[in-house]
């Protein structure tokens, strides 16, 4: 009975040692898992921060692009307005030139007529 008891006690102690080893291994695995998860969380946070910076930079680029497009549109509108104004001014100048040319022709005709009259008067006077 004593040997059976000692044998049972030895078996229980061996089982307890085995359970302690398994428990120690499990605790080490839990520590490794925690360290691994902490590393993954840190990587995830770093990636998230990087993504947020990239998104902010993208939004900034989009806003600058919109500003450039608005400036381009304003420039195009100013050019179109200047071209329209220039075309109006050109038409007005052409009209003024035509009027002045008509006046010049009329003056030249009067001058020619006056010259002819003068020449005729001198011819009659001689």
What is the token pair recorded at 103?
């006046």
Q: Is 37 helix (H, G, I), strand (E, B) or coil?
A: helix
Reported as a single tens digit per residue, the pLDDT across 45-83 is 999 999 999 999 999 999 999 999 999 999 999 999 999
**pLDDT tens digits, 4-60:** 899 999 999 999 999 999 999 999 999 999 999 999 999 999 999 999 999 999 999
Looking at residues 79-92, what average pLDDT do you find?
96
Virtual torsion, Cα 96, 99, 100, 103, nearest 10 deg: -160
pLDDT computed for residue 126 by the predictor:
75
Dmax (CA) for the chain in angstroms is 181
Report the alpha-carbon distance of residue 84 to residue 116 in Å, rounded.
47
């Amino acid at each position: 009975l004593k040997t059976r008891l000692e044998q049972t006690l030895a078996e229980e102690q061996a089982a307890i040692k085995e359970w302690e080893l398994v428990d120690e291994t499990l605790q080490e695995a839990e520590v490794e898992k925690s360290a691994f998860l902490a590393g993954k969380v840190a990587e995830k946070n770093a990636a998230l921060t990087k993504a947020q910076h990239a998104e902010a930079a993208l939004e900034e680029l989009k806003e600058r692009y919109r500003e450039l497009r608005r400036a381009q549109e304003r420039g195009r509108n100013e050019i179109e307005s200047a071209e329209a104004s220039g075309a109006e001014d050109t038409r007005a100048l052409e009209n003024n030139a035509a009027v002045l040319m008509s006046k010049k022709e009329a003056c030249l005709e009067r001058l020619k007529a006056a010259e002819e009259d003068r020449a005729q008067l001198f011819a009659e006077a001689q």
